[in-house]
Amino acid sequence: MDYLNKQLLLDKRPTGMPGDECWKLHEEKITSLGKNEILIEAKFLSIDPYMRGRMNDSKSYAAPAKIGEPMTGETAGIVVESNSDLFNVGDKVCAHKGWQTYIKTKDTDVALLKVPESNIGLSSFLGTLGMPGRTAYFGLNRVGKPKSGETLVVSAASGAVGAVVGQLGKIYGCTVIGIAGGPEKCSFVKDELGLDECIDYKAGNLNEDLKNACPNGIDIYFENVGGPVTRAVAPLLNTGSRVPICGFISQYNAPDMLKVETPFQVLGALDDKPKHRFFVVTEWANEWQQATQEILQLVLEDKIKYKETITQGFENAPQALRDVLTGKNFGKQIIEI
């Protein structure tokens, strides 16, 4: 066996928007497998907002990406060589092993997840049927705790996480208001995803539009963006409201994250504070398979729809990350290797 693995290594930590010089292309040959090892040929890379935070050398919920190691991220691929009883050649796998084209790893690695058999494209297991979909599922159910008849607002509603949150909210009987950027994304959220309303935060009257869309106030706000959107939502939150905080992408390129206004400050300043907390999908890692199966069933029944932006070429991962951080992508951003 002889495989050439390309890796994009983190070469320097960025200030603001990460430029190409933050990564270095490295090539290595893989010539043999050890006992209980498998080799995965990566077909798709996931590009997600959290990656920007991992590039910083600061305290966070997860350790920063290390300089000289493959950039943090998830891939979906196919087992091409196996020295294992747990995986066969041809098995489809998701692996959290960073930006590389081949992954040699132990078959018991916790970062591996076998993809269930279905006629759905492999890339979807990095989005709706992967970490973003599970993030939406657990954040909404375990932190948001929706009840039928409540009003749910979700920011970044056309994105990989937001789209699943909004559609689950409708399935659970909520009135769901999405917030997205630009008319194209808003019409997708309303017409394709079936949310009750979608507000274009770029249209210039966010506070007024949101107030009109939520005559009964807001019971759950699923936070993805922070900034002006959080400030518009805050005064409309009802007594007993819940705010799952998934992230706040509008602030991710700030030179000093300790100086930015976070959703915690905005919500914490309210007289009637909502129940709010930051959550990470790994809190429910032992239930991932079950959640994926549940979401898969809803996708197969056409109750959950989604959109992907697929960019060709491994070397385009850095630009794809910049696109995600500036909202240029539509739906889940994927790199096809």
Give pLDDT tens digits for 143-172: 999 999 999 999 999 999 999 999 999 999
Whether the per-residue pLDDT at 210 is higher than 70: the answer is: yes
d(CA 189, CA 46): 22
> Is residue 135 domain-shared with residue 278, that is, in the same domain?
yes
Indicate if the pLDDT at residue 62 is higher than 90.
no
Q: What does the pLDDT look like over 64-76, one tens digit per residue?
A: 999 999 999 999 9
Across the chain, mean pLDDT equals: 95
Residues 175 and 123 in one domain: no
How would residue 264 be classed by pLDDT, with cut points 50, 70 and 90?
very high
Average pLDDT over residues 232-241: 98
pLDDT of residue 250: 81
When pLDDT is cut at 50, 70 and 90, the band that residue 257 belongs to is low
**256: confidence class by pLDDT, cuts 50, 70, 90:** confident
CB 334 within 8 A of CB 308: yes
**Vertex 70: Cα angle to 64 and 72 (nearest 5):** 45
d(CA 24, CA 184): 35
- Asked if pLDDT for residue 60 goes beyond 70, the answer is yes
Burial group, residue 78, by CB count within 10 angstroms (0-12, 13-18, 19+): middle
Instruction: Give the domain CATH number at 45.
Output: 3.90.180.10
In a domain, 288, yes or no: no
What is the distance between the alpha carbons of residues 92 and 216, in angstroms, rounded to a whole number?
46
d(CA 220, CA 87): 42
Q: Are residues 115 and 7 in the same domain?
A: yes
* Residue 205's pLDDT band (cuts 50, 70, 90): very high
Structure confidence at residue 74 (pLDDT): 97
How many domains, in total, are found in the chain? 2
Do residues 278 and 150 both lie within one domain? yes
State percent of the chain over pLDDT 70.
Answer: 99
Residue 273 is assigned to a structural domain of this protein: yes
**Residues 305-326, mean pLDDT to the nearest whole number:** 97
Domain CATH code at residue 186: 3.40.50.720
Q: Are 330 and 309 in contact (CB under 8 A)?
A: yes
| Sign of the C-alpha dihedral computed for residues 284, 290, 293 and 298 taken in this order | negative
Beta-carbon count within 10 A of 255 CB: 9
| Residue linked to tokens 């079950």 | 290
**Single-letter amino acid, residue 117:** E
| φ/ψ of residue 276, rounded to 5 | -145, 140
264, part of any domain = yes
Residue 331 zone, left/alpha/beta (φ > 0; ψ -120 to 50; rest): left
Residue 252 confidence (pLDDT) above 90: no
* pLDDT (average), residues 317-334: 96
| Domain membership flag for residue 246 | yes
Average pLDDT over residues 80-109: 97
What tokens appear for 98 in the block? 């960073």
Residues 116 and 136 in one domain: no
Q: What is the dihedral of CA 23, 25, 29, 33, to 10 degrees?
A: 30
User: Model's pTM, two decimal places?
Assistant: 0.93
Helix (H, G, I), strand (E, B) or coil at 277: strand
Q: Do 151 and 220 share a domain, yes or no?
A: yes
**pLDDT value of position 254:** 80
Backbone angles phi, psi at 190, to 5 degrees: -80, -50
Cα–Cα dist 260/227, whole Å: 9
- My answer on whether 47 and 146 are in the same domain is no
Residue with tokens 């790199």: 335
Q: Are 90 and 49 within one domain?
A: yes
123 & 207 share domain: no
Together in a domain, 121 and 159: no
Closest CA to 187 of 169, 200, 203: 200
Residue 183 falls within a domain, yes or no? yes
End-to-end CA distance of the chain: give it in Å, rounded: 20
Does residue 299 lie in a domain region? no
Find the angle CA(261)-CA(334)-CA(296) to the nearest 5 degrees: 95
pLDDT surpasses 70 at 301: yes
* 152 & 259 share domain: yes
Question: Distance (Å, rounded) from C-alpha 244 to C-alpha 237?
Answer: 13
**Is residue 111 a part of any domain in this protein?**
yes
Question: Which stretches of 291-331 are assigned E, i.e. beta strand?
Answer: 308-312
- CA dist 310 to 12, 97, 101, 128, 205, Å? 26, 20, 16, 14, 32
Q: Is the pLDDT of residue 94 over 80?
A: yes
Among residues 240, 267, 282, which one ends one of the domains? Answer: 282
| pLDDT tens sequence across 43-54 | 999 999 999 999
Alpha-carbon distance of 286 to 214, in angstroms, equals: 36
| Phi, psi values for residue 237, rounded to 5° | -70, 130
Closest CA to 176 of 157, 151, 207, 145: 151
- 147 lies in some domain: yes
Q: Are residues 228 and 191 in the same domain?
A: yes
Q: Which of 30-39, 54-63, 89-98, 147-156 has the lowest mean pLDDT?
A: 54-63
* Residue 151: closest CA among 215, 199, 208, 205: 215
Domain of residue 196, residue span: 131-282
pLDDT of amino acid 58: 80
